[in-house]
Structure 1
Amino acid sequence: MHPVDAFLLEESEEAVWESFHENSKTSRATPHLYFDRHPSDSTVLAMMNRLRETKPHRDRPRIALPYDLPGSETGLDEALTERASARGFGPGPVGLADVAKVLRCAYGVTRSNADGAYPRPFRTVPSGGALYPLELYVWARDVTGLERGLHHYDPTTHELHDLGAFEAGGCFVQGDLVAAAPAVVLVTAVFQRSAYKYGERGYRFVLIEAGHAVQNAVLAAFGRGLAAVPVGGYFDRELDALMGLDGLHESVVYTLLLGRREPE
């Protein structure tokens, strides 16, 4: 047997992903993580009403974002085929309107769902059970019209909450690339919003949803002529700590760097 084939077939007790994947499979026999069986619709609705739709940050200054967002310069077909992950950024800031568009396309509210049985308005991404477990933050490094620092995005009001000074360049594997980016979108997950209904499977749904949101953001950025690159190379515990997250109930699951395109 070829050594590569042997490696691929080998099972390792230390491979956490194998254990997680097995334990997060949907089963007819395995009991629910929190309930004896899958929660009823009434239980799900009661929990949705108890859990926050988004983090409020009521004590922080609020910044209204423009609803009249700039149009895309390219169509969807071109964005899908021409998009490329940035390997660097050109000089100069990015505009607040462009950041607002990226955020709204990534995770903004699209429909009220006022006539539905469940209370969550729909957003730009598919979400398991329409539970929307993600939170988006913007680390503004050079954004026109926005103070430098960390900001939390409220999709229900299309506003930013100013969380104050912030510096996390040392938390990334590619620190030089981050240092050149005028804006960094930090995607966190409040896991309980999904896990209470789906148990271990909910963790899978959280990560899938983060991918949906970041892909939306990448396409929106390309449509505005910006450079973008999704980044998973960061030191989780350090970044969570700087953001004031406990790393267990809420943690960073994805990041996206935004900036101007490099001159051709």
Structure 2
Amino acid sequence: MHPVDAFLLEESEEAVWESYHENSKTSRATPHLYFDRHPADSTVVAAMNGLRETKPYRDRPRVALPYELPPSKIGLDEALIGRESARGFGRGPVGLPDVSKVLRCAYGVTRPNADGRYPRPFRAVPSGGALYPLELYLWARDVSGLVKGLYHYDPTAHELHELGEFEAGSCFVQSELVASAPAVVLVSAVFQRSAFKYGERGYRFVLIEAGHAVHNAMLAASGRGLAAVPVGGYFDRELDDLLGFDGLHESVVYSLLLGSREVE
């Protein structure tokens, strides 16, 4: 037997993913994590109204972002086929209109939902139950029009909340690559926004949604001729601590580096 096959067949208490995958399966028999059965729509709506749509940061300076999206330089087909993960970035800043487009295409509000069953307006990504558990942060290292530092993206107003100085290069496994990126998008998840309705399975939905958002951002970047690379290699506890997250109720789940393309 091949060693890999033997490993996969071996039962191990350390294989946490196996237990989680089994426990997060939808079942007709297993009770809901928080309710006796799947909650009624009225219960879900009441809970959604009690949860923030996005983190407010009311005491922070706000930066309005350009609402008009700069046009893509290439079509969707070309962006999809030509998508690649950058291994370096060119010199110089990335423009604020480009960053604005990336953020809005990643997780921005696309249309209202006032007449819908649930109270959240629609965003640029599919979200389990339209619950939108993610938060986006911009680490502006060299973005024209922005002071260097950390910003929180408010998709409902399409603006940034200025959070102050920030340095997290040492939190990444590929710290040299991060050091060459003019902008870093950090995607965090407020897990309860999804878990209250979907229980254990809500965690799956959160990670799927983060993938949707980052891929949208990559396509938007590619359309503008920017280089981008999604990064999952970071030291979670260190990065969460810098951002003020407890790592359980909210934690970073993905990141994206942005910049100009390297000149060949």
2:81 is aligned with 1:49: no
Q: Distance in 2 between matches of 1:2 and 1:115?
A: 57
2:224 is aligned with 1:187: no
In structure 1, the partner of 2:17 is 17
SS in 1 for 2:110: strand
In structure 1, the partner of 2:40 is 40
Q: Distance in 2 between matches of 1:2 and 1:187?
A: 38
SS in 2 for 1:143: coil
2:84 is aligned with 1:84: yes
In structure 2, the partner of 1:197 is 197
What letter is aligned with 1:259? Answer: G
Q: Distance in 2 between matches of 1:31 and 1:3?
A: 38
SS in 1 for 2:139: strand
What are structure 1's unaligned runs of at least 5 residues? none
SS in 1 for 2:237: helix
**Cα distance per residue 1:161-195 (max 9 Å; x no partner):** 00000000000000000000000000000000000
CA deviation after TM superposition for structure 1 residue 9, in Å? 2.0
What letter is aligned with 1:25? Answer: K
Q: Distance in 1 between matches of 2:118 and 2:2?
A: 54
2:231 is aligned with 1:254: no
In structure 2, the partner of 1:60 is 60
Q: Distance in 1 between matches of 2:187 and 2:65?
A: 19
CA deviation after TM superposition for structure 1 residue 218, in Å? 0.3
CA deviation after TM superposition for structure 1 residue 139, in Å? 0.2
CA deviation after TM superposition for structure 1 residue 13, in Å? 1.0
In structure 2, the partner of 1:96 is 96
CA deviation after TM superposition for structure 1 residue 14, in Å? 0.4
CA deviation after TM superposition for structure 1 residue 10, in Å? 2.0
In structure 1, the partner of 2:241 is 241
Count of paired positions: 264
Runs of 4+ in 1 over 6 A off after TM superposition: none
Q: Distance in 1 between matches of 2:74 and 2:3?
A: 47
Q: Distance in 1 between matches of 2:155 and 2:262?
A: 30
Q: Distance in 2 between matches of 1:2 and 1:232?
A: 29
In structure 2, the partner of 1:120 is 120
SS in 2 for 1:144: coil
What letter is aligned with 2:162? Answer: D
SS in 2 for 1:26: coil
In structure 1, the partner of 2:213 is 213
Q: Distance in 2 between matches of 1:46 and 1:134?
A: 20
Give the RMSD, CA atoms, in angstroms: 0.6
In structure 2, the partner of 1:28 is 28
**Cα distance per residue 1:106-137 (max 9 Å; x no partner):** 00001101111211000000000000000000
**TM-score of the two chains, using structure 1 as the length reference:** 0.99
What letter is aligned with 1:248? Answer: L
SS in 1 for 2:257: strand
SS in 2 for 1:163: strand
In structure 2, the partner of 1:133 is 133
Q: Distance in 2 between matches of 1:4 and 1:166?
A: 42
What letter is aligned with 1:174? Answer: Q
Q: Distance in 2 between matches of 1:126 and 1:105?
A: 12
**TM-score of the two chains, using structure 2 as the length reference:** 0.99
CA deviation after TM superposition for structure 1 residue 8, in Å? 2.4
What letter is aligned with 1:42? Answer: S
Q: Distance in 1 between matches of 2:45 and 2:66?
A: 32
What are structure 2's unaligned runs of at least 5 residues? none
